[in-house]
Amino acid sequence: MGNTLDQKYVEACAWKPDIFKGKVAFITGGAGTICRVQTEALVLLGADAVILGRNQKKTEDAAAEIQKLRPGARVIGIGNVDVREVQSIAKAVEVTVKELGRIDFVIAGAAGNFLSDFNHLSSNAFKSVVSIDLLGSFNTVKACFNELKKSKGAILFVSATLHYYGVPFQSHVGAAKAGVDALSNALAVEFGPSGIRTNCIAPGAIANTEGMERLSPPGETSLDKRVPLQRLGTTQDIADATVFLFSPAASYITGTVQVVDGALWQVGSPMGNLYPGVMISQNEDNVSKL
């Protein structure tokens, strides 16, 4: 799974090779497919980085691999960090400042997801996803704020398009990501006078990602044909949008959501062809799981 970047990205991309020289990025969920490629792009283009995750080995291994992408790059993996605990992120911020000196870019990317209709979604399951996606995004910014203020840095939240309409089996994530968009908007206004920018990126159906594996509608084989641009997205599409939003080219862009989905959400829910039959069978259970 996953399609990682290498030096060819620097040769073929639209950006100056050292556009992020001297900058430091701090990424939650940085060992996951999408956030890993975001990190790779920033590192290939000159930044150093710290990636955080719950799984220590996965996070440290990913950091070691990303560090090899550019001679002289420093990439640190910090495991056992749960974004639901602000103190665990604050400790990682301390390590980042001690080792790399500063934080310029923050990606709040850690996310939890699974397909479940309301009837089978417990209160605790809803709380778990909202806590990882929304509270975790808040905690990430909370822990990084002082450093971002010093660097006049920028924040990127990883959002989604699920809450633009009603998507069955995704009430938990849709609610959380709607909150993430609202958080980003409010922080853009609060942080603007301090010179900190904050935006969201909303990936659509990105090929070879954990999200696609977890969330593809059952039996769906031709999602690419539904996408107006007639292909699934690539992790490089997300990397390019990330580089743009952190680059000086976006210095007047804050409080926005950059959708990167080939206009898929414009043609309606990916679950559309299963609806309403699939809901009728799910709702047949008379007792809703608490």
Q: Which residues are catalytic?
A: 159, 177
Residues numbered 249-278 forming contacts with ligand COA, rule: CB under 6 A = none
Using CB under 6 A, pick the residue from 3, 80, 122, 194 that binds ligand COA: 122
In the complex, the smallest distance separating the C-beta of residue 16 from ligand COA, rounded to whole angstroms, is 32
Q: Which is nearer to ligand COA, 173 or 257 (CB)?
A: 173
Task: Find the part of the chain contacting ligand COA (CB under 6 A) among 91-99, 127-135, 222-230, 280-288.
Answer: 127-135
Task: Please state, in angstroms and as integers, the Cα–Cα distance from residue 250 to each residue in 86, 121, 141, following that order.
Answer: 29, 39, 20
At 193, is the secondary structure helix, strand, or coil?
helix
Token pair 């924040």: residue: 155
The C-alpha torsion from 264 through 141 and 82 to 157, rounded to 10°, is: 10
Using CB under 6 A, pick the residue from 39, 96, 116, 258 that binds ligand COA: 116
Binding track, positions 63-102, relative to ligand COA; x by CB under 6 A: ----------------------------------------
CB of 244 closer than 8 Å to CB of 250: yes
Q: Which is nearer to ligand COA, 151 or 216 (CB)?
A: 216
The C-alpha torsion from 39 through 43 and 47 to 52, rounded to 10°, is: 40
Q: Which is nearer to ligand COA, 62 or 154 (CB)?
A: 62
> Which helix or strand (DSSP H or E) is residue 214 part of?
helix 210-215
207 scored as a contact of ligand COA (CB under 6 A): no
Using CB under 6 A, pick the residue from 21, 57, 68, 120 that binds ligand COA: 120
Closest-approach residue to ligand COA (CB):
112
> Which helix or strand (DSSP H or E) is residue 46 part of?
none
Using CB under 6 A, pick the residue from 75, 89, 129, 205 that binds ligand COA: 129
In the complex, the smallest distance separating the C-beta of residue 55 from ligand COA, rounded to whole angstroms, is 10
What is the sign of the dihedral through the CA atoms of 88, 163, 4 and 242? negative
10 scored as a contact of ligand COA (CB under 6 A): no
Q: Which is nearer to ligand COA, 23 or 177 (CB)?
A: 177
Q: Which is nearer to ligand COA, 13 or 167 (CB)?
A: 167
- 22 Cα distance to chain centroid: 23
> What is the side-by-side order of every strand in the sheet holding 48-52?
75-78, 48-52, 24-28, 105-108, 154-158, 197-203, 257-260
Any idea how long the chain is? 290
> Which helix or strand (DSSP H or E) is residue 250 part of?
none
Using CB under 6 A, pick the residue from 30, 211, 233, 270 that binds ligand COA: 211
Q: Which is nearer to ligand COA, 242 or 254 (CB)?
A: 242
CB of 22 closer than 8 Å to CB of 102: no
- Angle (nearest 5°) at CA 202 between 146 and 142: 15
- Contacting residues toward ligand COA, per CB under 6 A: 111-114, 116, 120-122, 124-125, 128-129, 132, 210-211, 214
